[in-house]
Amino acid sequence: MTDVLFPVMSEADGATGVIVTWFVDSGDEVTPTTLIAEVAVDKVDAEVYPPTSGVITLLVEESTQTRQGAVIAQVT
Amino acid sequence: MTSTLSNKQSLVLAVEPQAGRRKLSTAKAMQEAISQRMARDESVFVMGEDVGAYGGIFSSTTGLLDRFGPERIRDTPISESAFIGLGIGAAVEGMRPIVELMFADFFGVCMDQIYNHMAKIHYESGGNVRVPMVLMMAAGGGYSDGAQHSQCLWGTFAHLPGMKVVVPSNPYDAKGLMTAAIESDDPVVFVFHKGVMGLGWMAKNDRSVGAVPEDEYVVPIGKARVAREGTDVTIVTISLSVHHSLDVAEKLASEGISVEVIDLRSLVPLDRETIVRSVSKTGRLIVVDEDYQSFGLSGEVIAVVAEHDPTLLKRVSRVCVPDVPIPYAHELEYAVLPTPARIEAAVRDAVAK
């Protein structure tokens, strides 16, 4: 099982952001080239790709305030 | 004229391709269309205010500067008349420019270039000079940006001959229509409502994210889409109002009211056949348009049916912005926008009689 982390986008300690959009659902097959999410911290957006291939399970809902570095999904 | 005919043959398919499973937002679908076309056709480039490092203020060009560099993704000064004129010049010389006006509202400072030059050179040259240019712009309100940054105005462009006017409502159409617009040898005004882009900082309808084929494809310009089939009443609409109309149709289906929703996808050419076919079936027509009510798309759609056969129409109404500037105050703005509540009331009224 591999964790997918909320990317670190701000130098501020404990900075939080939101998942703007999940482009996949739990149970979907993903690879490292699958765009799985778009996240935002302060108005800056970033794309998230999984570190490995497998079946994804989403752990955080869209629009929920989430700490940078937190686990947002798992790939098995 | 630089030709990309060899590509075109592989782009235009007899039927629109299956969407597949991969999902994108409308903004990312537009970016992908531009990026794939630029990769295959060196004559395509992008120009406009903040299209480079900023990626377009509504994310229409995010990431393109990194991939293609400043020669082909060109930031311009605030000089709309000059850079639209520059785009026209490049187009008549064989390039395929994509020029962004930013807000549709800004057309006032550059309209001579748009409607006297971009739209008329083909006609005035007896068809000898083509202007294969895309003029893209953001439209629409709902986020308190005031009267000068919230207008739709697609009806204004559609009123003036010589331009195609394309207005996608979802990621699939946005990619296919953008590819078609770039490939068109005629000038295409490509209007994207900010509310369909899937941006995090705006109210987001789930319909702004959807399945999009990974390969290039074309959605033909001028062909409406039956977004939902129904039998009691026809809603003819476009852009963000498609989302609202589909939400209303889903809600009312549980009460046994069957609403057909037609997504026009373009104003010019207007798919009159699909409008007439639907109203022939339902006999009730509601036009939902976020543009101003008078002298625009809504009246034109009703005229299409009336000219074809006025006896088709048992009921007809429209849900548009009344002829006032878009208010800044949230409550006032939502009082004039074609909200789901107003659409629902119009449908109930139509089927009650």
Over residues B160-206, the pLDDT tens digits come to 999 999 999 999 999 999 999 999 999 999 999 999 999 988 878 88
Number of domains making up chain A? 1
- With beta carbons under 8 A apart, name residues in chain A contacting B59: 45
At B344, the pLDDT band (50, 70, 90 cuts) reads very high
Tokens 């589909």 -> residue: B246
Name residue, tokens 């996949």: A24
Instruction: Determine the average pLDDT of the residues in A42-70.
Output: 93
DSSP-derived secondary structure for B112-146: IIIIIIITTHHHHTTT-S----EEEEEE--SSS--
Tens-digit pLDDT profile for residues B60-104:
999 999 999 999 999 999 999 999 999 999 999 999 999 999 999
Three-state DSSP at B28 gives: helix
ipTM metric: 0.87
Give the list of residues 6+ apart from residue B5 with CB closer than 8 angstroms, or none: none
Does A59 have pLDDT greater than 50? yes
The residues with which B266 forms a beta bridge, in sequence order, are B166
The pLDDT of residue B106 is above 70: yes
pLDDT averaged over chain B?
A: 95
Please state, in angstroms and rounded to a whole number, the distance separating the CA atoms of residues B213 and A22: 17
Distance CA B136, CA B59 (A): 12
> Chain centroid to CA B336: how far?
21
- State how far the Cα of B97 lies from the Cα of B72, in Å rounded to an integer: 9
Tell which wins on pLDDT, A11 or B250: B250
Residue of B nearest to A37 (CA): B24
Give the pLDDT score at B3: 42
B244 is catalytic: no
Q: In chain B, what residues touch A20 (CB-CB under 8 Å)? A: 198-200, 204
Share of chain B above pLDDT 90, in %: 92
Question: What is the spatial distance between Cα B69 and Cα B71, in angstroms, rounded to a whole number?
Answer: 6
Strand order in the sheet with B284-292: B225-228, B259-263, B233-237, B284-292, B315-321
Q: Is the pLDDT of residue B13 over 80?
A: no
pLDDT of B12 reads 66
**With 50 as the cut, is the pLDDT of residue B1 above it?**
no
Give B130 or A64, the one with higher predicted confidence. Answer: B130
Percent residues over pLDDT 70 in chain B? 96
In this prediction, residues A4-17 reach a mean pLDDT of: 90
Give the pLDDT confidence score for residue B211 in this predicted structure. Answer: 95
Residue B12 distance to chain A (closest CA, Å): 26
What CATH number does residue A45 fall under? 2.40.50.100
CA–CA distance, B74 with B61 (Å, rounded to integer)? 11
pTM over 0.80: yes
Distance CA B157, CA B163 (A): 7
Domain that holds residue A50: 2-75
Compare CB distances from B24 to A23, A28, A45 and report the shortest one's residue.
A23
Number of separate helices (H) and strands (E) present in chain A = 0, 8
pLDDT at B348 > cutoff 90: yes
Domains, in order of start, for chain B: 22-211 (3.40.50.970), 225-352 (3.40.50.920)
Q: Is the CB of B200 less than 8 angstroms away from the CB of A24? A: no
**E strand residue ranges, B220-346:** 225-228, 233-237, 259-263, 266-268, 284-292, 315-321
Reply yes or no on whether the pLDDT at B265 is more than 50.
yes
